[in-house]
A and B are shown apart, each in its own frame.
Chain A
Amino acid sequence: MSAATDRLSRLLALVPWLRAHPGIPLPAAAEVFGITPRQLRDDLDLLFVCGLPGGAPGDLIDLSYSGDRITVADPQTLDRPLRLSVDEATALVVAARALADVPGLAGREALDRALEKLEKAVGAAGSVAGQVRVSLDTHAEVLAAVQRAVRERRRVHLRYLVWSRDELTERDVDPMRVLVREGHWYLEGWCHRAEAVRLFRLDRIDGPDGVEVLDIPAAPPPGAVSRDTSEGIYRPGPADVRVVLELASPARWVADYYPVTGVRELPGGRLEITLHARETSWLHRLVLGLGADVRVVEPLVLAAQVHALARRALAAYGLDAPSGGADGER
């Protein structure tokens, strides 16, 4: 859409919206429309001089703002919003269908009713919605238990796999919210073990038995604030180790699967990736698993650790490493 059609679209929606919200403060209306109060004032001044042929006072859109409150007395023909465009219908119908597929969703019944009305109202504009689909992968039983805990504000006991350390942990968590980011479901809550706000990936909770909703009210301390996830779930911290890997072509998929902070194309289809890691034991596993398709550029200590692990593993098979190295074996 061009700037002109964007604005026309907004103006046509603005009149009936203001009419449905009589006396709304100007800043509040501007926020809903995602524009500045200044832009909204310009919009209102423009609407003020528009109307039906004739241009007599009774033919114009009649609106006023006294102080900061807006009132529409006569919208002329713009008393109803324009029907949803294909884009708008697609966005809302696809999203509502994705949510409706989530098992055990609280408010599911309201969503089903809304979706039915919406599909009827959008008519033909909704036909593309069948060609766009979002599958929110769920872990139904775990999700249902966690949602119940959030809803009833109750503490949960989790058996949780800390994947980066390959460690199974037990902890009590006061749930704050359930969220989906980049295809994974998370529970955010106050962790009594870490004494901090933590995110727990639902697929790393140890199955349906790994979550127990306790008969204790959840009471996150007042200082517990949700993490800002707008820039992604993972945020590099100052203590993180910078890791640079060179991937051969068959290992290029790594850049899609891990939170890389930099990607550089190299000759021959090779790829150099940079990532930041708080813990490195998961990197041992990654580098070992990639075998000949990865080269550790930095840090050197990671390469050395991987080398030592490979030698010990080969020894467990009764084999020697292909070339000698003076690392200390147990």
Chain B
Amino acid sequence: MERLLNLTMCLMATSRFITVSQLGELVEGYEPGATEEEQEAFRRMFERDKAYLREIGIPLETGTDSAFSDEVGYRIRRGDYALPDIALAPDEAAALALAGSLWSTTALAGPAASALRKLAAGGAAVDDGGLGALDGFEPRVDATDPAFEPCLAAVQAGRAIRFPYRKVVETGVTERHVEPWGVLSWRGRWYLAGHDVVRGAPRVFRLSRFAGPVRPVGLGGAVRVPPDVDLHAMVSAQAPPDQVRTATLAVRRGTGHALRRHAGPASATLPASATLPASATRPTPAADMDLVQMEFADTERFARWIVGSGPDVIVLEPPELRAAVVARLRAAAAGTAGVCEAAAVPGGR
């Protein structure tokens, strides 16, 4: 560790390029030695140290000063090394500190904290008065999906990945090969957007549905992100709604509050049922029910929502929505039929 620090400082202190053999003499901790074996060990050590320095982002410059020697030399330009003077006012520093806390316990929490320390080390004023106007505001994002870190790393490295993925309605797991374009947190969930190599099209994957480890494939820097890609639009458009229709529902007073917030009052007269006489199929709402109208796109999803309210919300129109609701009620009744004799029912509402 001392050697790495000494090496860094030595290369920063010079304006000339310093060759490897010079470094061996100058830097405390290197022992170039006399034999070929010792020389070789020293060079291997220097190669490893060089990799460490580059890994943490130290800009190591290579070149040569001498027209007579082709031995390569090294130096670190202080202007390239140092964080530019960013001169944050106290309220600006407080705003960034709040932003940094967004990552809570995710893989980006550590980098955010070290970034803030560097800003503070660079002389950003820190107001001891706390967050001031931002007090009381605590945004946090979670990323507990194991796939988060490898996906983020793949995006940063511009490297394609393979991973097993479970699509929600499928029972099976399929292997995906994706060139990642970005990761996005939307409505509290993380997604990977990219080019699906096998399907030859842009696709969006939810990180919680990764069914196994993420494996990098190919070279870093090989992924080309289209310049006009809009991650947010990609993810939010994942399930484009189909045609919107209107349902007429009877809702018992004092119930269905969540549903009512999206509903409007029904017109006085119900639309006539197209195929059958209305009286034959359409149920009669109870006296303590209100009629409301609501727009929906996906019949099955909407049916699932309505069925949840049991006898408190009844579908009057359209017939196919009513059929979907009735089918689900029958399934629920059949699925629970075995237990109703076994367990005492504490009297219904």
What is the interface of chain A, defined by CB distance below 8 A to chain B? 1-2, 4-5, 7-13, 16-17, 19-21, 32-34, 46-47, 49-53, 55, 76-78, 80-92, 94-96, 98-99, 102, 105-107, 110-111, 113-114, 117-118, 120-121, 123, 125, 128, 130-137, 147, 150-151, 161, 163, 166-168, 175-184, 206-207, 229-230, 249-250, 252-253, 256, 268-269, 284-292, 294-296, 299-301, 303-319, 321-330
Contacts and interface: CB of A to CB of B under 8 A. Distances in A.
Contact of B156 (A128, A181, A291, A306): A128
Nearest to B108: A91
Interface in B54-73: 55-58
B329 A207 contact: no
B134 to A, nearest CB: 4
Contact of A180 (B139, B172, B305, B347): B139
B310 A51 contact: no
Contact of A310 (B94, B141, B156, B332): B332
Nearest first, the 10 A-B pairs at minimum CB distance are A183-B188, A269-B171, A285-B308, A114-B92, A88-B115, A80-B82, A292-B331, A131-B182, A291-B328, A17-B121
B96 A106 contact: no
A184 B329 CA distance: 31
A133 B184 contact: yes
B199 interface: no
Contacts of A88: 111-112, 114-115, 118
A300 B339 contact: yes
Given A291-B307, A313-B311, A133 B57 contact: no
Contacts of A133: 182-185, 231-232
Interface stretch (B9-17, B38-46, B263-271): B9-17
Interface in B183-230: 183-189, 206, 208-209, 225
Interface residues of B, number: 132
Nearest to B338: A303
Contact of A20 (B93, B123, B133): B123
A80 B80 CA distance: 11
A178 B138 contact: yes
A286 B309 CA distance: 9
A19 to B, nearest CB: 8
A250 B117 CA distance: 47
B170 interface: yes
Contacts of B136: 147, 150-151, 175-178
A323 B333 contact: yes
Contact of B9 (A77, A125, A250): A77
B88 interface: yes
B91 to A, nearest CB: 4
A295 B172 CA distance: 21
Contacts of A81: 82-83, 117-119, 121-122
Given A8-B1, A113-B92, A308-B345, A99 B138 contact: no
A20 B116 CA distance: 13
Contacts of B334: 292, 321-323
Nearest to A76: B9
Contacts of A99: 95, 98-99, 102, 139
Interface in B303-349: 304-305, 307-311, 314, 322, 326-337, 339-349
A61 to B, nearest CB: 8
A77 B13 contact: yes
Contacts of B123: 20
B93 A50 contact: no
A132 B99 contact: no
Contacts of B142: 181-182
Nearest to B11: A77
A1 B96 contact: no
A4 B49 CA distance: 10
Contacts, number: 432
A4 B9 contact: no
Contact of B261 (A206, A230, A307, A326): A206
Contacts of B231: 131, 133
A312 B120 CA distance: 65
Nearest to A100: B99
Given A89-B115, A317-B326, A1 B56 contact: yes
13 contacts: A20-B123, A46-B5, A82-B118, A88-B111, A92-B96, A125-B57, A180-B141, A181-B142, A229-B140, A252-B168, A305-B345, A305-B346, A317-B322
B37 interface: no
Contacts of B172: 269
Nearest to B342: A300
Given A85-B56, A135-B184, 20 more contacts: A16-B121, A32-B120, A46-B2, A52-B9, A82-B83, A92-B115, A98-B141, A110-B95, A114-B95, A117-B92, A135-B187, A168-B257, A178-B138, A182-B188, A249-B170, A252-B168, A304-B336, A309-B348, A312-B310, A314-B326
Contacts of A86: 57, 156
A309 B99 CA distance: 47
B335 A292 contact: yes
A322 B188 CA distance: 40
A91 B333 contact: no
A222 B272 CA distance: 62
B115 A313 contact: no
A321 B330 contact: yes
Contacts of A102: 139
Contacts of A4: 1, 4, 52
